[in-house]
Structures are given as structure tokens and as C-alpha cells.
């Protein structure tokens, strides 16, 4: 006797495909159980099966809580059992999380990055003195390094000083005759070429002896 074939078009939609059709059928069977004690026992067994399907997550924090939440999701929140955790609701699941506001920074010179602008702002707020001069010089050297990483060609210090004035709204000014930045070769070091090791040279004497034999 041929059993009736079951087509996907006639099946209920899998609410959590990672657990497969069998787990969903077990949950659907639990929904038909009228005795609450028996229904609780079946729910416990389903949780064990679901846990065995993800053994690598057993040590994860709140793993059991996650399994129980997924059990209620599979049942479309219709399963009435005693859960050791707060029972989630469909409204809570469908609730949209708040949209995170990302900083909308559009720097004029992107190759310097946003951190350079933060450093320049800090330098502007410092009192005049040796500390501020040293910080500004380090910022200028770092800007030169960033520029060289973006553009492999050499760059004149005047260009860096000009950009520094623009990014600080004219509050920081350096002149080439007063300050000199580090050389490009010191800021951007070239990667050493990989040297291929040559194997030992063949012993010609041994080869000659073999040929004479």
C-alpha cells in the first residue's frame, strides 16, 4: 500500500529552517496535547532534541533561554507550557530596534582619516608652549605619513602645512623655515625583498666519478 505523498506546497512553512521539519512536527504535535503535564514533558523533550542539534552552543551564555524562545517561535507563540524563562510575545519579536545614529563625517582630505581631525582639535585647545608645539609637529609628521601611504610620490612639507592650516580653521600655522618634517624614507619604510634560498650546488666531482664507472 502506497503512503500518501506529502508535498512542500501542502506543508506549513518552516518557522526556523535550521531545526528542520521533524522538530516543527514535534512542536505541532505538542499543540494538540490537552493534558498540560504531558505537554510540559513533551516540551522538555523537544528542548533536549534542539540542544543536541547545536552541541557547540551549549557553553554559550543563556543557551537554554535561547532554546525556549525558539520553541515558542516555532509554535507561533501558541504553545502553552511552563517555561523556566519569561515567555516572549510575537509583538516583542517583531518590534523594530532603534536605528543607531552614525557620525556623519565627511572630511575634506579622507586619506588623513578622522583621527587626525580629532588630534588637531585637541592641539587647538592646548595652551601655547612646548607641549603644543611638539604635538603639532607630531601631527604634521603623521599627516605626511598618511599622505605618502595614499600617494606614493614625494610630498613637499608646504603641502602638509597648508592642509594643517585648513583643517585647524587657521588656528595652527607652521612655516617651512621654522620647522622641518621627517624624511619620506623614515616615515614609509619599504618592505624588504624576499630572498629565495638557493639549494646546494651539485657535486661535480661525484657526478664525474659516476660517469667514468
Q: Which of 31-45, 127-141, 165-179 shows the lowest mean pLDDT across its residues? A: 165-179
Mean pLDDT of 158-163: 90
Distances (CA, A) of 165 to 49, 100, 171, 173, 209: 66, 33, 7, 6, 78
Is 77 strand, coil or helix? Answer: coil
Residue matched to cell numbers 506529502: 6
CA-based nearest residue to 79, from 115, 30, 23: 30
pLDDT classification of 1: cutoffs 50, 70, 90: very low
What does the pLDDT read at residue 182?
Answer: 80
Cα distance between residue 91 and residue 9, in whole Å: 28
Cα distance between residue 24 and residue 10, in whole Å: 15
pLDDT digits (tens, 9 = 90+) for 52-82: 998 887 777 789 999 999 999 999 999 999 9
pLDDT digits (tens, 9 = 90+) for 182-213: 887 777 766 555 555 555 555 555 555 555 55
Amino acid at each position: 500500500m502506497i503512503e500518501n505523498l506529502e508535498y512542500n506546497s501542502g506543508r506549513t512553512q518552516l518557522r526556523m529552517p535550521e531545526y528542520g521539519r521533524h522538530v516543527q512536527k514535534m512542536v505541532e504535535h505538542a499543540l494538540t496535547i490537552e493534558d498540560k503535564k504531558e505537554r510540559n514533558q513533551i516540551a522538555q523533550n523537544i528542548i533536549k532534541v534542539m540542544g543536541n542539534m547545536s552541541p557547540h552552543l551549549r557553553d554559550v551564555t543563556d543557551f537554554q533561554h535561547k532554546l525556549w524562545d525558539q520553541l515558542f517561535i516555532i509554535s507561533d507563540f501558541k504553545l502553552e507550557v511552563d517555561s523556566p524563562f519569561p515567555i516572549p510575545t510575537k509583538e516583542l519579536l517583531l518590534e523594530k530596534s532603534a536605528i543607531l545614529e552614525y557620525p556623519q563625517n565627511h572630511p575634506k582630505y579622507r586619506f588623513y582619516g578622522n583621527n587626525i581631525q580629532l588630534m588637531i582639535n585637541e592641539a587647538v585647545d592646548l595652551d601655547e608652549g612646548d607641549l603644543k608645539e611638539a604635538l603639532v609637529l607630531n601631527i604634521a609628521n603623521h599627516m605626511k605619513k598618511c599622505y605618502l601611504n595614499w600617494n606614493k610620490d614625494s610630498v613637499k612639507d608646504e603641502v602638509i602645512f597648508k592642509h594643517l592650516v585648513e583643517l585647524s580653521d587657521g588656528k595652527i600655522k607652521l612655516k617651512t623655515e621654522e620647522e622641518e618634517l621627517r624624511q619620506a624614507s623614515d616615515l614609509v619604510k619599504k618592505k624588504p625583498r624576499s630572498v629565495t634560498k638557493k639549494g646546494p650546488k651539485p657535486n661535480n666531482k661525484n657526478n664525474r666519478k659516476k660517469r667514468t664507472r
